[in-house]
């Protein structure tokens, strides 16, 4: 296989890395003067789409979103920066890692607001899933991100298997309720 053919089958992480910045406006705030989490999720979905589409050279759809924890509030007037890269590729899917940071323009202070992982699936014009290029990992951080994605996928499969089994019995898990603020009042 020559080098040009190899480049079509595999792409470097840097080839589809995306960075966007946007000034946070009052129109995107909630009643408490903070930026709506839903607005941030919309921006994250957009950058995940752009990153995955850039990698796959095709239309992509969001299949799932893993762990969106809002770590710090985002204020009106802050410069929001979203960074996205393909962390993992499967046959037709990609995991796009996204980091969200907000910068106070006056002080230059930067805070990490959240990180999340969007699983995107490449589609053709008829809506069929299509194969995506492999990933070339160039440094230890890219290897770490790929391996962590593998671990998250493994945990997701275990969770799904555990709760979708036909012999799942809530009685096996009732002991988990003991330390929670809940009452079970069955008829």
Q: Can you give the pTM of this predicted structure?
A: 0.86
pLDDT tens digits, one per residue of 5-46: 555 699 999 999 999 999 999 999 999 989 999 999 999 999
Q: What's the rounded Cα separation, in Å, for the pair 12 and 160?
A: 31
DSSP letter string, 25-37: PGGGB-TTSBBPH
Taken as a whole, the chain contains a residue count of 187
45 has which bridge partners?
none
Look at domain 3-165 and name its CATH class.
alpha beta
Task: Give Cα separations from 52 to 62, 79, 80 (angstroms).
Answer: 10, 24, 21
**DSSP secondary structure letters along 53-97:** HHHHTSEEEEEEEE-----S--BTT-EEEEEEEEEEE-SSEEEEE
> pLDDT digit string (tens) for 71-88?
999 999 999 999 999 999
């Amino acid at each position: 296989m020559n080098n040009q053919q190899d480049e079509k089958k595999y792409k470097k992480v840097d080839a589809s890395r995306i960075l966007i910045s946007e000034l946070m406006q009052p129109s995107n705030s909630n009643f408490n003067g903070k930026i709506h989490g839903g607005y941030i999720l919309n921006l994250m979905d957009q950058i995940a789409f752009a990153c995955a589409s850039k990698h796959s050279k095709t239309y992509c759809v969001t299949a799932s979103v893993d762990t969106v924890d809002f770590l710090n509030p985002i204020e009106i007037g802050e410069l929001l920066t979203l960074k996205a890269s393909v962390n993992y590729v499967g046959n037709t899917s990609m995991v796009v890692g996204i980091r969200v940071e907000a910068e106070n323009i006056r002080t230059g202070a930067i805070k990490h607001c959240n990180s999340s992982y969007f699983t995107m699936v490449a589609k053709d014009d008829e809506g069929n899933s299509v194969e995506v290029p492999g990933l070339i990992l160039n440094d230890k951080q890219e290897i770490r991100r790929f391996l962590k994605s593998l671990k998250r996928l493994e945990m997701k499969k275990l969770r799904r298997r555990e709760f979708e089994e036909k012999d799942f019995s809530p009685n096996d898990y009732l002991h988990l309720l003991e330390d929670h603020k809940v009452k079970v009042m069955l008829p």
